[in-house]
Amino acid sequence: MRRLSLSLVALLPLLIAAPAEALIISATEVIEDLTPQLDPFSRDLRRTRFSTVLPASVTNNDATIVAQNNVDGDFGIYNFDNVSYQHNVNWSTPPALTYLAASLQIEAFGPDGGNDSVFSETINLGSLVSDGSLLDFFTTTVFAFNNQAQLNLLLADGILNVTVNKVGFLDAVSVTKSSLTVRYEAVPEPATVALLSSGLLGGAFFRRRQARA
């Protein structure tokens, strides 16, 4: 075990200096209204962010979420007005080198007829899933971004603009939750490589102590 630990110590400068290989990161941002069933005419926003390398970070301050994600006053409100907001993935680290795929999931209350269209920039992603009833219920709609060139164009600034165009005055809808998950390629920063290397050395040292015990 002593020879192994010494060889790892000698290898550490090489691990740090070696060109870093690309990492595949998955990052998710969730914006939601916590009171859709209790009161469809008011809201209480929460935003959650997490990735494969970062723990969950939760924000409950409505003003902060509105300012940082450009959430308009109709998100979470049961009415006939269009809804717009932004998903921001610039918080994820290491930063994206290129986006590989993404998924946008929208939960809504009361969409009827399958004609409430969802746009990102000028691209029509499709319509919200209809609840299929004269009564209003919750539905979940998932949009997949598999065109990598288009995805990188939409996320060129790390922000995905989303607009939900409600069909009109006969179809009240409440957008209650939106989740964006992106999968991207990143090059780890030198500090990340150093941490990975030190973790390897720490594991070898721990195993050596166990062997001696």
- How many whole angstroms separate alpha carbon 126 and alpha carbon 142? 10
- How many whole angstroms separate alpha carbon 183 and alpha carbon 56? 17
Q: What is the dihedral of CA 90, 93, 98, 101, to 10 degrees?
A: -80
Specify the higher pLDDT residue, 73 or 19.
Answer: 73
Q: Are 5 and 202 in contact (CB under 8 A)?
A: no
Please state which of the ranges 89-98, 129-138, 141-150 shows the lowest mean pLDDT.
Answer: 129-138
Backbone angles phi, psi at 10, to 5 degrees: -70, -25
Query: Mean pLDDT over residues 137-162, rounded?
Result: 96
pLDDT at residue 66, rounded to an integer = 98
In this structure, is the dihedral angle defined by the CA atoms of residues 142, 126, 29 and 178, taken in order, positive or negative? negative
Query: Mean pLDDT over residues 127-143, rounded?
Result: 90
pLDDT at residue 189, rounded to an integer = 67
Q: What percent of the chain has pLDDT over 90?
A: 64
Query: Mean pLDDT over residues 170-181, rounded?
Result: 92
Does residue 59 register a pLDDT over 80?
A: yes
CA-to-CA dists, residue 97 to 24, 71, 94, 110, 192, angstroms: 10, 27, 9, 39, 16
pLDDT at residue 11, rounded to an integer = 37
Query: Mean pLDDT over residues 51-61, rounded?
Result: 97
Angle at 182 between CA 178 and CA 186, to 5 degrees: 150
Please state which of the ranges 20-24, 88-92, 137-141, 204-208 shows the lowest mean pLDDT.
Answer: 204-208
183 band by pLDDT with thresholds 50, 70 and 90: very high
Specify the higher pLDDT residue, 186 or 201.
Answer: 186
Specify the higher pLDDT residue, 211 or 193.
Answer: 193
Query: Mean pLDDT over residues 149-178, rounded?
Result: 92
pLDDT at residue 135, rounded to an integer = 79
Q: pTM of the entire structure? A: 0.79
Residue whose C-alpha is closest to residue 99's, from 109, 107, 87 = 87
184-202: string of b/e by CB count within 10 Å (b at 16+)? bebebeeebbeeebeeeee
Specify the higher pLDDT residue, 58 or 191.
Answer: 58
Indicate the angle between helix axes 2-17 and 190-212, nearest 10 degrees.
180
